[in-house]
A and B are shown apart, each in its own frame.
Chain A
Amino acid sequence: MIEVESLTKRYGTHTAVDNVSFRVQKGEILGFLGPNGAGKTTTMRILACYLPPTEGTARVAGYDVFEQPIEVKRRLGYLPETPPLYADMQVGTYLDFVAKIKGVPSASRKARIDEAVEKCRIADVRGKHIGKLSKGYRQRVGLAQAILHNPDVLILDEPTAGLDPKQIIETRELIKGLRGEHTIILSTHILPEVSMTCTRVLIINKGRVVAEDSPEALTHRLKGAAGLRLEARGETGPLFDAIRTVPGVVSLKPRTGPGGSATFEIEAEAGRDIRADLARTVVQRGFELLGLEQVGMSLEEIFLHLTTTDAAQETPAAEPTEVSA
Chain B
Amino acid sequence: MNALRNIGAIVEKEWRHYFGSPIAYVALFVWTALFGGFFYLVFDRFLTVSQRAMQQMELGGGPKLSLNEWVIAQVLHNMAVVALFLAPMLTMRLFAEEKRQGTIELLATSPLTDLQIVLGKFFGALSLYLVMLATGFVNFLPLWYYATARPEWRPALSGGLALLLVGASFIALGLFVSTLTRNQIVAGSLTFGLLLILWIVGWMDDPMAGPVAKALAYLGLMNHVEDMMKGIIDLKDVVFYLSVTGFGLFLALQSVESQRWRA
- Chain A positions within 8 Å of B, measured between CB atoms, are 45, 48-52, 70, 73-74, 76, 78, 80, 82-89, 93, 97-98, 100-103, 145
Contacts and interface: CB of A to CB of B under 8 A. Distances in A.
B6 A80 contact: no
A48 B112 CA distance: 13
Interface string B88-110: 00000000000001111111111
27 contacts: A48-B105, A48-B109, A50-B109, A50-B260, A50-B263, A52-B261, A74-B111, A80-B102, A80-B105, A83-B102, A84-B102, A84-B106, A85-B101, A86-B17, A87-B101, A88-B17, A88-B21, A89-B20, A97-B9, A97-B12, A97-B16, A101-B6, A101-B9, A101-B107, A101-B110, A102-B110, A103-B2
B5 interface: yes
Q: What bracket does the count of chain B residues touching chain A fall in?
A: 20 to 34
A145 B107 CA distance: 12
A84 B13 CA distance: 14
A82 B109 contact: no
A83 B13 CA distance: 18
* Chain A interface mostly: loop
B223 interface: no
A89 B13 CA distance: 9
Nearest to A157: B105
A163 to B, nearest CB: 17
A124 B124 CA distance: 31
A85 B253 CA distance: 23
A88 B102 contact: no
B261 to A, nearest CB: 6
Contacts of A50: 105, 108-109, 260, 263
A89 B16 contact: yes
A145 B21 CA distance: 23
Interface in B146-205: none
A86 B20 CA distance: 11
- Of B20, B105, B261, the most chain A CB neighbours within 10 A belong to B105
A89 B15 CA distance: 11
Contacts of B17: 86, 88
Nearest to A84: B106
B209 to A, nearest CB: 46
A102 B112 CA distance: 8
B183 to A, nearest CB: 16
Interface string B210-254: 000000000000000000000000000000000000000000000
B74 to A, nearest CB: 38
Interface in B8-24: 9-10, 12-13, 16-17, 20-21
A84 B101 CA distance: 7
B105 A84 contact: yes
B13 A97 contact: yes
Contacts of A93: 16
Contacts of A82: 102
**Ordered nearest first, which 3 A-B pairs have the shortest CB separation?**
A84-B106, A100-B9, A73-B111
Contacts of B104: 84
Contacts of B103: 84-86
A101 B21 CA distance: 22
A281 B5 CA distance: 77
Interface in B68-103: 101-103
B113 interface: yes
A48 B263 CA distance: 14
A221 to B, nearest CB: 35
Given A51-B260, A88-B20, A97-B9, A70 B113 contact: yes
Contact of B111 (A45, A88, A103, A145): A103
A52 B135 CA distance: 45
A2 B178 CA distance: 35
A98 B106 contact: yes
B20 A78 contact: no
B193 to A, nearest CB: 27
B5 A145 contact: no
Contacts of A100: 5-6, 9, 12
Contacts of B6: 100-101
Contacts of A102: 110-111
Given A86-B17, A93-B16, A101 B111 contact: yes
